[in-house]
Amino acid sequence: MDPELELRLAAAAATLRRGGIVAYPTETFYGLGALAADERALDRLARAKLRPEGKPLPLLAADRAQVDSVAVLEGPAARVADRLWPGPLTLVLPARAGVHPGITAGTGTVGIRIPGSAVARALAASAGGVLVSTSANPSGGPPPTRVDEIDPALLRELDGVLDAGPTPGGRPSTVVAIEAGGLRVVRAGAVSLEDLTRACR
């Protein structure tokens, strides 16, 4: 990572630790981040994004230790994670006690991934905790691949932007729940069903 980007990343992480909201790049689009443990920041993020109440917030982690801090990852789900993380795959897992109800929306589960983007992983590591990872657009709008595509009204609500250049775009992360009966695809995306099925074996 080049020194200038490292400086911007450190500044974004400091903003998150102070309770701020930051736009940052993932392996697909730019996302909105706040520390998942910061209740006030989560409330601000939901208002800024005009997100409907009762909708779970997806999460992003730097590594398996961060995943384990908020979710139970074991059995077939752990095998899938071993084979397909880091990458654009969100696993729906049982939430640990203490996870903010705005994240679980009463489901008792969290959707979480370790992203393919090294910048996003480094941001979560530097910020010191799991991040919210919802796309950087008002609810219903197109997700941006560049900072200059972020909706100006949304941009005014943010405390920082980590600009690391354009992201690849494409399909969003695949969202999967792994249940007793097998795989349940909640949202089709960048990881194919064939890859998921192979990873479960």
* Position 27 confidence tier, pLDDT thresholds 50, 70, 90: very high
* Domain enclosing residue 20, as ranges: 3-200
Section 109-113 average pLDDT: 97
Q: What is the pLDDT of residue 64?
A: 97
Of 62, 33, 39, 47, the C-alpha closest to 131 is 33
Number of domains in the chain: 1
Over residues 4-13, the pLDDT tens digits come to: 999 999 999 9
Q: What is the CATH number of the domain that holds 154?
A: 3.90.870.10
Mean pLDDT of the 74-94 span: 94
pLDDT tens digits for 169-195? Answer: 999 999 999 887 678 999 999 999 899
Lowest model confidence (mean pLDDT) among 33-42, 120-129, 132-141: 132-141
Distance CA 173, CA 89 (A): 5
Q: Can you read off the two tokens belonging to residue 22?
A: 């930051």
**Longest CA span, the chain:** 48
Residue with tokens 């994670």: 81
Q: State the pLDDT confidence band at 102, using cuts at 50, 70 and 90.
A: confident
The percent of residues above 90 in pLDDT, for the chain, comes to 77
Query: Each residue of 152-169: b (16+ CB within 10 Å) or e?
Result: eebeebbbbbbbbeebee
Residue 124 Ramachandran class (φ > 0 left, ψ -120 to 50 alpha, else beta): alpha
Task: Report the chain's mean pLDDT, rounded to a whole number.
Answer: 93
Q: Is 181 exposed, middle or buried (0-12, 13-18, 19+ CB in 10 A)?
A: exposed
